[in-house]
Structure 1
Amino acid sequence: MQIQPFLIAGVDEVGRGPLAGPVVAAAVILDPHKPIEGLLDSKLLNEATRERLDVIIRRDALAFCIAEASVEEIDTINILHASMLAMSRAVEGLGVRPNLALIDGNRCPTVDCPSQAIVKGDQRVQSISAASIIAKVMRDHMMMELHEQYPNYGFAGHKGYPTAQHRQALIEHGVTPLHRRSFKPVREALQRAASQTQVVPAP
């Protein structure tokens, strides 16, 4: 009788902090027969290393899935619940069902398998590191593409995070459909624009 392997999915998300764009999550089941050198929390790796590892993870993993929650969902259910939703979608989208999902952080999304939250899991568990890398690369690519539509905001550089450049662009150019209206700097930009709009009296 063939013994079925115990499949562990690492799950992580990126993009909680930005003022614009979706939150993106990934789930990865690594192949124990194809170890990948250099897996770390994506935030500790430079862009070139992330891009290189992204190719290897996609090629060598037993299964992976990348999912997202939209700006509209973030504004409707808040960023925490949207992050959980994206992670749930990533696990559900795997081609095989894991025996266990290891989640980066201190709480677990709703998934159809046993799960465990691991604080700083992206630095401690290789499959979570792999998930953080491919989610980060995917989201960065998405923001670089959105930069082409909205070049005044600098999305290719800051990826939607609240840098001084991004905040200034909100003041100068206003709020786009990509922006999370539930986030304070965006809300303040909308209020500022509304207060500056003057009603022209009818002749």
Structure 2
Amino acid sequence: MKKVLYTFASLSLILAACSKKDVVDTEKPENEVERSHQEAKSDTEKGKEQTETKEDTPLIAFEDLTTEHLLAMTIYEQQVIDEFNEYVLPTADEIFAGEYSRPLYPGGESADVTNKIPEVSIISVDVTDVLVDTPQDPLTFYVVNPPSMGGMSVFAVGETYTLLYSSLGELTYQEALNYGHKYNIKELYEKHKNNENILNLIERMNSYENMEAYYKKIDSMYGE
């Protein structure tokens, strides 16, 4: 009888152990599946965050804006001068093409003259070189070549706006506004912060610290 009871007890322990093992084996895959789902969800959320971060990162950062960036953006947005029905500078398409055609005399009916664009030259100048008075707003002035029409193309950068105008002689600041337009820097940036052509346009620009440096480069280009 004792032998039978012992055998029965042993069998019960074995069955209990097997049953417990089955439960553990059954629960383990469920835990692994849940963990896999959590990891997959985490990876998906991480990937989404990285994608959103990448999409939110502009091609051109506002704090990295240079004179060249602002000039390129202004060229894309430049408006015609009403008196001459002409732009101050060649258009972006003309700069990329490397040439532009204009009447010999602005506003006239003379035959077009085709001009080459070896580069867009940005030459630092003093305010007294381009204006007969000093504007209230602090501005940094540049002469930009080639001009779209006769005269001198002047680009100025302030704290909140750029100014692009054409000068046929000595002008006051107010007269400069009449021969050009002001462009809001924040608006320029918002419109062109992801425009790759801004960077392409910059590659065609060269900056000079003064007129002397510019003419020295021109002389070397044409072998004079």
TM-score normalised by L of structure 1: 0.26
* Structure that is richer in strand per residue: 2
Question: Which structure's relative contact order is higher, taking Cα pairs within 8 Å and 6+ residues apart?
Answer: 1
TM-score normalised by L of structure 2: 0.24
